[in-house]
Structure 1
């Protein structure tokens, strides 16, 4: 279904396209925080009828709607449609949902009517809202009301009291414990009447949100956006569509930020994944190093804090493993789901190592590197001791938790890892891209440990990476298809379905140049490239379904990593072909790329939305920034005092300006101009301490 999202920090509100929350069975709309729904109804009626929506403006933190009355029976007779103008504004600030309703009488005479507001709260865990049936659920819910306050209170099975406090200004004419607030209003012609609601979720033991007046809240509403944008790199092009894509993505990332104690952390997506995810946050941080390296810093600190410490099959936890997902709702607190945290991800641990290395490349921050060295050492140990389950040199996954995830790579839906015959692969499964991540992590950390004086460990990692690369070629390369197998199954048989995972191996530098060229060519064949992006699975595959989650859809983040892989091996025009496709898709989605979209070919019209895709979604919002880095061919090596630059712009761009790029010890400003195939670049402010080197940093073997 279509919905509107308003979010600030950890609180978000889901409404229907009119800005309302109707009370319907199976509805997922409402007000949420900490994995709990604190409001499941909020509706407005005039004399028993719903107003008619005229127009609605939806920004990341606010909904502004204009409505009017339908034909109404009043004391004077029938009131024509369009006699009342209703301005409704909803926004979130500092943990409170503010609702403002202003009515203006445009009728020739005075009007008397009733405004009814219906509100309720069910305090369901988000998993329950999505269909999970809890084993423990006591509906211990009470409601109380006073002259101008309505309080819904719930005592959960986890022992916590949760309540929704709703304050009204002015006081309603009547307020019932059932959640109905009524205003009997008399308005002269041209007169106005305003109602303000302050809706505050409160959780026992947590800091209570501070409610302020509407005017103050509106001023505060603008501040977080400025605080988020100010330290970020400013990116300007001569293409208005690119600029709008950049601006929308910047706003979306700001909306998704939550501080879990270590700085701003992008939750995976709204509505269902507004919590910390290991894989999603790590990839978002890798995408946005060019935007603001501080994102990576807070993510690394947060995930290191939750790094696995013991063997716990219920949570798929092992020592050194980076978590997949953290939840704080009633079901998690009572142990009905294993997300405290849940560790069922095979790729987050090597991605953690890659991000820490990349952060070091961007900043040269040796002190932070040393601070996280124990976490990095444990992650490296996890790869060899627990990740490689059978000692064959490849990292595999196998679900141990009865409520865990079957497929533990980024394509984690049930049917994603499927043989060419259509038969599902059986675990333990070794995914192609995960071997690439492990290879990249070991190569990077061999270099870092050598710089830190750990020569023996460095040599061991370098040799392990060499052996992995050789073994991967023998086990995964499909000579007949000139492509990489999707995975190896439990019997070490190749899963020979042609899929996008192979492109991540380019990003990791795992392939030799000949095989890389073959993979690039195959990824851009019509059965893989839809015109808007590279599909997750070939349209020739038996399991292909363009409407599926992972078996033929297009994921922007997937494409961004593949584009960086193309760039790494020097396939710049091919990279630009994918970038141009994603730009056209972004235009169709009003410059907000969703989590995924359907994989239909471009010649069949615009991209088809995937019905339940998250939007905004963090690694979809991060996509454009990694693409900008690819266009610039920008690779910092702060510890070596250099920044490599090799711009290749598509036909749609001839001007690309970077301001306030945080790199090395300071900032750097850069202007790239293209005339035909010739490039000019101007270096402005440079306090980074880095030498800008013109040319391609060849990191692929």
Structure 2
């Protein structure tokens, strides 16, 4: 131990950020494994904003900054590898003062900083190469701090009290930082070094590193909850294990490959992002919603991501259904918005959730998760014919349906509506859950309970799914009852949500039974469920395809002339890729392939401006020649259902629908995106048999062919 082995871990941020350029724009780079993720800038630094290393919803490393000779190195480039395993920053030195030797000019030392997460630990290698004409001795400094803030604090929530930051414990080659929460849980961060620092304190470690002329040297660091001596071998072993795991996840399910390199990059990035966000839980794979704010299981996000990817990878849907079944509500709680049969909206494991300062430890305030759960089960059965698993789920499905029917019964029209149970819960409980996302034509915020139009579509699809499943189980009476209720609900939606003046469905009905006459993208989800009659669907599709909704980068969440329209808002005029995909899939339900092809093209072009990775959302400004889409400043990236967008768009474009029970791949009026002349779906699993299905543009039409695989799976094409 040093003399300062026990020192307060108070942090002086001005010491850390003094080298930041005013107005500097910093791209963020994310890594994730299991319940941990790390976000840094392009240099690899964490400066205490939204950055840091998080474990179980707690920021266990808030500042992590590299300096050479008391200055942050100059950035050459920063990137995450194509498989999302390694972050690499290439840096070079500013002019260096003499440190036990000669001074060095700028740009003679190449610093390569590589990082990965594995086993809930951060592994980092700092490699320095000397291109000067003489030997150099360089002062390398690592500044660090752990504020142990709950993720809700990092997002901006304030707390009246916090736990106790304990004095740092300093060893010869490591520093232990600790915090005792108000929940009496001890949280630790141990920063360990492969070499003994020349000086180590509570917030920094200094190394004098000798680098021979044209030679190199490396320092290895690990950040975890216990002290383990870092080494080159441990770093390489962790990297190999992380890459093998990611490779296995990326190869799960079918793979799409086209004749266009840039389009393939989008396909690969989408697949890699899904693999990054998936956690292998005891119930199966589950896609965490997004980094940094939503790196946890969300019900709605997981269900929609599973629907997006179901045709290529049913295992994800199975994992989502299994997990959500295990977390289904069994009791009434206004604080948690729970009731028996409801499907979880969100779960958190941080200090604030465990203390009940926020209700999100296990929260059920999502009106759509429960019907989406039933919808996904029906779609999974249709895709896989895995009725043994459906039999296991049947009690959960009946309980979910019981909550839906009971809640619909409380509404005079039989609609599924929501109103939050207690203060602190979500005011709006559909996918557009910001406070101002549902309103009247004059901008007034309605009183609850609120019945959203797309949620009625989800209930309609859930009823039809339960009827089919019950019929397969020989429960004919239940099947008839659910089918009858679906028909009744459809008629009610057509009568009470359609507005002739708008020639569209309104976004909602409020607690006063008044129609919220607002044109919003929610109707695209309604199309996806197949509820609207064809003539009305065609009117809706024309509007979604018009400039009022589509500014050239995809469907906006709100038509531009609506009262609260703001292209910079979260839900009132922005573009959400998953929302675009749901709308496109809805258009495909009614055979409108040309509009789908256009949306695929627009979404792909947007992706090219975001490094082939679609963000959670971006601003809804109209497209301007030669200019990229405008980023939304705090969007999650990667985000699971944004990554899943590509899969749903391609299914809608190709017209693929798989009947697992009969062993048929249905292909209806296939189209290919602009600039793509050939696309093959490799390794499509149908009832345990695998085949490759190809699509090729010949003349003015797209032909479908079996490229390879089992002949006992039929491909049925309708042109």
TM-score, shorter chain, exceeding 0.5? yes
Q: Separation in 2 of the partners of 1:689 and 1:340?
A: 48
Match of 1:130 among 141, 145, 155: 155
Q: 1:686 to 1:79 in 2, by over 3 A?
A: closer
Mapped partners of 1:450, 1:202: distance in 2:
55
User: How far apart are 1:471 and its partner, in Å?
Assistant: 0.8
| Residues 87 and 416 of structure 1: CA distance in aligned 2, closer, same or farther (over 3 Å) | same
**Residues 357, 146 of structure 1: alpha-carbon distance in 2 compared, 3 angstrom cutoff:** same
Q: Once the 2 structures are TM-superposed, how far is the Cα of residue 135 of structure 1 from its aligned partner?
A: 4.3
Structure-2 residue corresponding to 1:679: 702
Structure 1 unaligned segments of length 5 or more: list them: 204-208, 697-701
SS in 2 for 1:679: strand
Normalised TM-score (structure 1): 0.95
Distance 1:322 1:146 in 2: 48
Asked whether the equivalents of residues 135 and 336 of structure 1 are also in contact (C-alpha less than 8 Å), the reply is: no
Give the CA deviation at 1:543: 0.9
Is the partner of 2:310 in helix, strand or coil? coil
1:69 to 2:93 alignment:
yes
591, 615, 629: which is aligned to 1:607? Answer: 629
What displacement does 1:77 show? 6.5
Q: Which moved more, 1:311-320 or 1:217-226?
A: 217-226
* 1:308 pairs with one of 317, 329, 332: 329
Query: SS of the counterpart of 2:97?
Result: strand
Give 2:30's aligned residue: 5
CA change 1:314–1:429 in 2 (3 A) is: same
The structure 2 residue matched to 1:669, chosen from 689, 692, 696, is 692
Range 406-415 or range 152-161, more displaced: 152-161
Task: Give the equivalent residue in structure 2 for 1:513.
Answer: 534
Q: Give 2:664's aligned residue.
A: 642
- Deviation, 1:388, is 4.8
Cα distance between partner residues in 2 of 1:39 and 1:678: 55
1:132 positional shift: 1.5
| TM-score when normalising by structure 2 | 0.92
- The answer for the alignment partner of 2:448 in structure 1 is 427
Cα RMSD (Å):
1.9
The correspondence for 1:197, drawn from 177, 202, 221, is 221
Is 2:220–2:232's contact at 8 Å kept on the other side of the alignment?
no
Would you say the 8 A contact 1:21–1:40 is kept in 2? yes
Which of 163, 184, 189 is 2:208 aligned to? Answer: 184
Q: How does 1:450-599 map to 2 (within 5 A)?
A: 450-599=471-620
Contact residue 388 and residue 396 of structure 1 kept, 8 A: no
Partner SS, residue 347 of structure 2: coil
Q: Are the aligned partners of 2:663 and 2:686 in contact in 1 as well (CA < 8 Å)?
A: no
2:654 to 632, 646, 650: 632
Q: Note the alpha carbon deviations across 1:533-590, whole angstroms, 9 max, x for none.
A: 0110011112110111110111110111111111111111111111111111111112
- What are the within-5 Å matches in structure 2 for residues 357-436 of structure 1? 357-436=378-457
CA distances 1:32-91 after superposition (whole Å, capped 9, x unpaired):
010001111111222212111122232322221221211222266752111222221111
**Per-residue Cα deviation, 1:491-536 (whole angstroms, up to 9, x for no partner):** 1111111110111111111111110111111111111111110110
Q: Which moved more, 1:639-648 or 1:513-522?
A: 639-648
Deviation at 1:232, TM superposition (A): 2.4
1:573–1:650 Cα contact (<8 Å) kept:
no
Indicate the residue corresponding to 1:206 in structure 2.
none
Contact 2:31/2:37 (<8 A) preserved: yes
1:581-606 per-residue CA deviation (whole Å, 9 max, x = no partner) reads 11111111121111111111113532
1:262-305 CA-partner distances (Å, limit 9, x unpaired): 12211000000000000000000000012211001111000000
Give the aligned partner of residue 42 of structure 1: 64
Decide which of 369, 373, 376 is 1:352's aligned counterpart.
373
- 1:130-163: CA deviation from partner (whole Å, max 9, x where unpaired): 1212344222423111111211122222222211
Closer, same or farther in 2 for the Cα pair 1:157/1:571, shift >3 Å? same
* Superposition pairs of residues 91-130 of structure 1, within 5 angstroms: 91-130=116-155
Task: Tell me how far apart the structure 2 counterparts of residues 665 and 15 of structure 1 sit (CA, whole Å).
Answer: 42
Q: Distance in 2 between matches of 1:170 and 1:347?
A: 53
Once residues 50 and 543 of structure 2 are traced to their aligned partners in structure 1, the CA distance between those partners, rounded to angstroms, is 41
2:79 alignment counterpart: 57
Distance 1:319 1:136, change over 3 A: farther
Q: CA deviation at 1:244?
A: 1.2
